[in-house]
A and B are shown apart, each in its own frame.
Chain A
Amino acid sequence: MRGFWRRYSRNRGAVIGLFILLAVIICAAAAPFLFPRSPWSMVQRPFLPPFTVDGLMLGTDALGRDVLSGLFHGARVSLLVGLVSTVVALSIGIPIGALAGYYGGLVDDGLMRFTEFFQTIPSFALAIVLLAIFQPSLGYIILAIAIVSWPPVARLVRGEVLSLRHREFVEAATLSGQSNLRIIIWQVLPNALPPIIVLASLMVATAILLESSLSFLGLGDPNVMSWGYMIGAARTVLRTAWWLSFIPGIAIVLTVLALNLIGEGLNDALNPRLRSRTP
Chain B
Amino acid sequence: MSLLSFENLSIALPTGADRPLAVENVSFTLDAGEILCIVGESGSGKSMSANALMGLLPEGVTPASGRILFEDRNLLDLSEREMMSLRGREISMIFQEPLSALNPLMRIGDQIVEVFETHGRLTPPERRKRALELMHEVGLPDPDATIRAYPFQLSGGQRQRVVIAMALALEPKVLVADEPTTALDVTTQAQILALIDTLRRERGMAVLFITHDFSVVADIADRVIVMQSGEVVEAGTADKVLLDPTHAYTRALLDAIPRLSFHDSVPHDDEAAPILRVQDLSMTFRTRTSGIFAKPRVVKAVQNASFQLQKGETIGIVGESGSGKSTLGRCLVRLLTPQNGTVEIGGKDIAKINGDALHQHRRRIQMIFQDPYSSLNPRARIGTILTEGLIAYGSDKKAARTRAQELLTLVGLDPSAMTRFPHEFSGGQRQRVGIARALALDPEVIIADEAVSALDVSIQAQVLDLLAELKERLDLSMIFITHDLRVAAQVCDRIIVMQRGEMVEFGPCAQVLGDPQTAYTRSLLDAIPGKAHERALAAQREATP
Contacts from A to B (Cβ < 8 Å)? 167-169, 171-179, 182, 186-187, 190-191, 276-279
Min Cβ gap B136→A in Å is 37
B350-379 at interface with A (beta carbon < 8 Å) = 359, 362-363, 366-367, 369-371, 374-379
CB-defined A-B contacts under 8 Å, sample of 26:
A168-B371, A168-B375, A169-B374, A169-B376, A172-B369, A172-B375, A172-B376, A172-B434, A172-B437, A173-B377, A174-B335, A175-B333, A175-B335, A175-B362, A175-B366, A176-B363, A176-B366, A176-B440, A177-B392, A177-B441, A182-B392, A187-B377, A190-B377, A276-B58, A277-B59, A279-B59
CB-defined contacts of A279 to chain B, threshold 8 Å: 59
Q: Which single residue of chain B is at the shortest CB-CB distance from A188?
A: B377
Interface string of B436-458 (1 = CB under 8 A from A): 01001100000000000000000
The complex places the Cα of A279 from the Cα of B48 at a distance, in Å, of 20
A177→B394 CA distance, assembly (Å): 10
A150–B101 Cα distance when bound, in Å, is 37
B384-395 interface code vs A (CB 8 A; 1 in, 0 out)? 000011001100
* Given A168-B370, A172-B367, A279-B59, A191:B377 Cβ within 8 A: yes
Taking the closest CB of chain A, its distance from the CB of B183, in whole angstroms, is: 16
Select A177's contact among B335, B359, B375, beta carbons within 8 Å: B359
12 A-B pairs besides A171-B335, A191-B377 with CB distance below 8 A are A168-B371, A168-B374, A171-B369, A172-B375, A172-B437, A175-B333, A176-B441, A177-B359, A182-B392, A191-B378, A278-B59, A279-B59
Residue of B nearest to A171 (CB): B335
Residues of B within 8 A of A (CB): 58-59, 333, 335, 359, 362-363, 366-367, 369-371, 374-380, 388-389, 392-393, 434, 437, 440-441
- The docked-state distance in angstroms from the alpha carbon of A175 to that of B368 is 10
Task: Please report whether the interface of chain B is mostly helix, strand, loop or mixed according to DSSP.
Answer: loop
Closest to B443 in A: A175
A169 to B, closest residue via Cβ? B377
Q: Which residue of A lies closest to B434 (CB)?
A: A172
**Cβ–Cβ < 8 Å partners of B377 in chain A:** 169, 173, 187, 190-191
Cα separation A175 to B393 with both chains bound (whole Å): 11
Contacts of A173 in B (CB 8 A): 377, 388
**A175 to B59, Cβ gap below 8 A?**
no
Kindly state the separation between the CA atoms of A174 and B354 in the bound complex, as whole angstroms: 13
> With contacts A171-B369, A278-B59 known, is A176 near B375, CB below 8 A?
no
Closest to A272 in B: B378
Closest Cβ neighbor of B393 among chain A residues: A177
Residues of chain B within 8 A (CB-CB) of A175 are 333, 335, 362, 366-367, 389
Alpha-carbon distance between A10 and B333 when the two chains are bound, in angstroms: 47
Could you say which residues of chain B place their CB within 8 Å of the CB of A178?
Answer: 388-389, 392
Across-interface contacts of B335 in A (CB, < 8 A): 171, 174-175
Q: Looking at the assembled complex, report how far the CB atom of B326 sits from the nearest CB atom of chain A, in whole angstroms.
A: 11
Given the complex of chains A and B, what is the CA–CA distance between A186 and B385 in angstroms?
A: 11
Give bound CA distance, A169 to B378, whole Å.
9
Q: Could you say which residues of chain B place their CB within 8 Å of the CB of A179? A: 392
Which residues does chain A contribute within 8 Å of B375, judged by CB atoms? 168-169, 172
Closest 8 A-B residue pairs measured CB to CB?
Answer: A176-B389, A168-B375, A177-B392, A168-B369, A169-B377, A190-B379, A178-B392, A168-B374
